[in-house]
Every structure is written in structure tokens, then in C-alpha cells.
Structure 1
Amino acid sequence: MGMLSNINTFLNVFRSDEGLLRFLYYAPIDLNTNQPDPLSDLLDDILSKDEDEIWAIRDRHIMTTLDIEDLSSEKLCRLYVYLGRRSPERNNYTLASQEIVVDVLCHNNFQKELRSLKISDRINELLIHENIAGVGKLRYVEGHEINPPKDYAAYRHVYEITVKKK
């Protein structure tokens, strides 16, 4: 599996998961405005929206470039998904360990309900419990806070996948 295929596998899983998209897209719970929990049946299913609207949501909330310029004027949750280190196994490039990095950023308005933790839990459910890369091929390397933009909370998850290039 090549580098492009690796990252696309992760992106496809994230982009097609209704629960994750709801956590990224819907506003925080607010009793004053009757804003329900993002998983509430009172809210529209994101994947049932028209295709252009779905892709607008995906492109705004799941990115592959570390562009944070718009975050100073936005209040949202976002994933940044990108490749980390790639190390050959036993000095053989055709068998390598590839890191996939997932940064979770949530505006402080969302963080009041610990939204970044909900997003992180959902990501781990999707990646680890669903065995997207096959049993034993994907492992969680580490997670830690990262320096966030102003008014945001940020957490980095690093996964490692063993890949064999044909």
C-alpha cells in the first residue's frame, strides 16, 4: 500500500462516518437556544444532504494541509490528517512503517462540552476497533496536546501502519 493509498484510506473512513461528521459540524449543546447534542435525532443526518453540501462540510472540517489562518475568525472543530515519518523495516523500503497523524482542533466554545475528547474517541473507534488496515497492521503510537491557535484546544494522535509496497 503506497503513501497516497494510506492517507486516502483514513480520509475515506473519516469523511463517510456520520457520527464523526456530526461532532465536527454541529454547534455545541446550548440549553438557552435548544441546540441539542450533535448526535441527536433532532438534527439532520449530514450524509443525507445533497452531495455539494456534504463535500462543503467535509472540506471545511477535514483537511490535509495545516492551514490554520481561517481559525482566527471561525469557531469550529477541525481534523488535520497527514503523513508523518516513514521508516523502512529491516532497511527494506518495500516494507515500511508509516505514521498517520490526526490533529483535532476545537474552538473553546465546543471544548466546554469536551468535544475534542468525543471526536478523539470516535476516531479511535473508527481506526482501531474497525481494523481499517487489517488486523495487527495499525497501531496507536501516541497522543498529546499540541500548541493550539488562540481560543482553540488541540490534540495530536499518531498512528502507525506497516505497509508493503509491491
Structure 2
Amino acid sequence: MEIMKTTQTNLRHAEWLSAEEMHIVSKEWLSELNFIKDEHLFFEDLVTHFTSQLIASDKFSDSKEIVDAINRSEKHNNKLIEAVKMHENELEIMVDGIDQKEAEKAYTKEHQDLVIGIKDFLKEYKSLKTQLFDIIKNIKKEDKRSHLLDRE
């Protein structure tokens, strides 16, 4: 219930954001989404590095699902980056000095939709990262155990 209240408050707050504030928020989104884009590359390298262990593990189906989730996340992230860039390009509607109530209202609504979409994406992304790192952590623990057993 708290999430719903927060979202509604954020949406009402977005209605009152100035063009400059929306511009700043959009720039922050782009920065965060571009960072995530780099992290996706890191995840792909990580998966490549641990491919043999992922395949050999008894949790292969979990590993395959996480790889699929990374790919879906990457595509979703790219779509969000494009949506934010387009949103940024349309900011002129808010600052051109021409009174266009409907267009300005539509822009604000689009901004609100992006607030929700990006917030949902970031929540899913955090979960994905946690799952991936748990899988890799377990592989590393197994490697360590097997090396210790080999020494004995």
C-alpha cells in the first residue's frame, strides 16, 4: 500500500515539475540507464567467464533463465534510453513560450509514465543483479570447496 501512495504522490508531484526540473530528471535517467548499459556488458563477460560452471551446475535451468533475463533487461534498457532521449527532444514544447495546453499536458503525462516505467525497470533490474551475483557467488564457493577437497 505504501508503494501506491508514494507513486501517486510522485505522479502528482510530476504535474508541478518545471521544464528545467523535468530536464534534470531526464538527464539523471539517461546517466543511470547508460551506466546499466555498461553493467549489462559486464554481466555478459561474467556469464562468458563462468559458462562452463553454469552449464555444469545442477542449476542449469536457473542459469539459462538468468541469461535470458539479462538479454530482456538489456533490450528494455535500450528502449528506455530511446524513450528518454525522445522525451528530452520534445522538451521544447514546455519552453517555447507558446501556450499549448494540450501538448504540454501530454508531455507531462509522458513524463509521469516514464517515472513509473523507469522505477519499475530499476526494481526488476536490482532483482536481476542480485540473482546473477548469487549464482556466481555459489559457483565461486563450489570452486573453492572443490579446490580444498583436491588438496586433501
Bigger proportion of residues as helix: 2
Bigger proportion of residues as strand: 1
Structure with the greater relative contact order (CA < 8 A, sep ≥ 6): 1 or 2? 2
Q: Compute the TM-score of the two structures, normalised by the length of structure 1.
A: 0.24
Larger radius of gyration: 2
